[in-house]
Structure 1
């Protein structure tokens, strides 16, 4: 077999993957860009240029949705990064029932997001929910977790963290276990304690894992929809509306072109925020 034939034979294995990529990613992306500039239904369409984008940005809820999306992404990302690191450090130490505790931490990740949202919306009921009932038993009056405009978004964010911190913890565990034990032994010989070990070894040398957690958690927060919709449907008012929930409401109302334009805007938003963050984190990554 000639060198050219060998290369052609090798590229043939890329054809199935290329077809799948074209059908399920590239083609829908191009069609989305086109239909975002149309007024369309399932049977007809009319080209209207950038009118959908103008209309979408004139939505009164959009500015609130952008703010909520950014706040939600930052809060959930920060808590997952911090809690995941602390839990992973604890679960890689010399403790009993280590594997069992890891399973417990990871278990919420396996649950359906919709089921989690429905369950917590019932638990956070102001008068009948188990959370406020338990607080009342010890003499504390619990707030209206999902009805109070000041704390509703934070309440949903905390549920998101509860469900997603398991993934962050697993990534951190893999990163910490990849650190050579010789570093810890050398620090111990020099008189370093647990805090010094965590500060000078675990934190800097688990930076690749931390970068992965930051990127995944931040993008997940920007794209979040299902938990918000299951718990509050964007309410009260626009308090917990994210860009994704605003887009869904446009679909519900039958404004398909407007909703498609919203999806393009969300894609651009995620790209503009995530790619520079990714490049910055990898630029400053500590190499083992």
Structure 2
């Protein structure tokens, strides 16, 4: 009898706890939901609508698929699409490799480790426009500090980092990597810190060296961090505009043009419906690349 009486309160308490865990007041969701609807859903719906119109601030005329046909007939579109994919792959891949490398180093007991972490993350906090304008001065082919140092060391004239069509896009990608690798490093540091220390202790007992620990422990168990870095950096690279525009303006010629800069040029020319259609196309391209990649990475993460 005593056992029965004692068990009932525990059962009721457990049931109540489950009920509390599963039920939240609607007001809890409202702030985030309203912000998401106002700042994402509504602009997205209106963008899809205005992509089929020729519009100004005061009126709009429905033109069907005319904007899309005209946008795809742009002479520099194929080149800009290729540049967008190349830029996204280079920047995201480099951030994964360098972020992992720096995170492994900064996770060891170094002197002034906190300071080094701060220095690594600092470029992330700087405005992309500020970074672009700064590097435009630093990489000036005639008076830039970089080329003056190049000449002093090699005795030859430095390359036109932002004016040579062959390397302009790669130069901007390098700037993007410098600016964004700090965030990738921070994500990897968090991923490495989440790995239980027992794995490393067992590996050291078995005589595993630094490379074996990295290959068999850090690399597979930090895959969630790798997945996050890949997705964030790839989305940012495919949508990149401000850094490219402030450094090269899409030039020289169309050498560093990406889809976002082509869209902005159409907007500058007053073709608002055409630029809106370009934004829709960019949205669909990014979704078509990122969504299946995200599903594949999630399946790999679940399988680990």
TM-score by length of 2: 0.90
Aligned to 1:279: 295
5+ residue gaps, structure 1: 1-5
User: How far has the Cα of 1:282 moved from its partner?
Assistant: 1.2
Aligned to 2:263: 247
**Distance in structure 1 (CA, Å) of the matches to 2:109 and 2:75:** 54
Report if the CA contact (8 A) 1:205-1:287 is conserved.
no
The one of 199, 209, 214 aligned to 1:193: 209
Structure 2 vs 1, CA of residues 180 and 18 (structure 1 numbering), >3 Å: closer, same or farther? closer
The one of 29, 32, 35 aligned to 2:47: 32
**Distance in structure 1 (CA, Å) of the matches to 2:152 and 2:48:** 55
Aligned to 2:130: 115
Q: How many residues align?
A: 283
Aligned to 1:3: none
User: How far has the Cα of 1:152 moved from its partner?
Assistant: 0.4
Rg bigger for which structure? 2
Following superposition of structure 1 onto structure 2, how do residues 174-213 of structure 1 map, counting pairs within 5 Å?
Answer: 174-213=190-229
Structure 2 vs 1, CA of residues 175 and 53 (structure 1 numbering), >3 Å: closer, same or farther? same
**Distance in structure 1 (CA, Å) of the matches to 2:38 and 2:210:** 52
Following superposition of structure 1 onto structure 2, how do residues 1-288 of structure 1 map, counting pairs within 5 Å?
Answer: 10-138=25-153, 139-285=155-301
State the superposition RMSD in angstroms.
1.7
**Distance in structure 2 (CA, Å) of the matches to 1:9 and 1:213:** 32
5+ residue gaps, structure 2: 1-19
Report if the CA contact (8 A) 1:40-1:46 is conserved.
yes
